[in-house]
Amino acid sequence: MIANYGYEDGSGFYYITVDTDICIGCTEYGCTKVCPGNVFAVEMDDYDDFVCTVAEGARKRLRELCSVCKAQNGSGGTERKLPCTAACPGGALRHSW
């Protein structure tokens, strides 16, 4: 499943997309370990698989929370330059901005 978390406002679209089919095979959960903003959480889905989600409290704050990483590493997109995307072995994460 492709899950989108985030929001849009007058300045743009701020979404993190998670391909949970890839997360099902993940055992390290590197995204949760490297993220300085505690953006990610691992939760059990409807099929009793553990998958990555964006934590409830982070969903409306992504632009702010990710600003430090993006200032240092550039934008996310499909590239894997951010701590979270670089730590994800299967490429399950994508940032819209």
Contact present, 83 and 34 (Cβ < 8 Å): yes
Torsion of CA 82, 84, 87, 88, to 10 degrees: -120
Binders in 78-97 for ligand SF4, by CB under 6 A: 82-84, 87-88, 90, 92-93
Site map for ligand SF4, 14-43, x if CB under 6 A?
A: ----x---xx--x--xxx--xxxx-x----
Q: Give the footprint of ligand SF4 on this chain (CB under 6 A).
A: 18, 22-23, 26, 29-31, 34-37, 39, 52, 65-66, 69, 82-84, 87-88, 90, 92-93
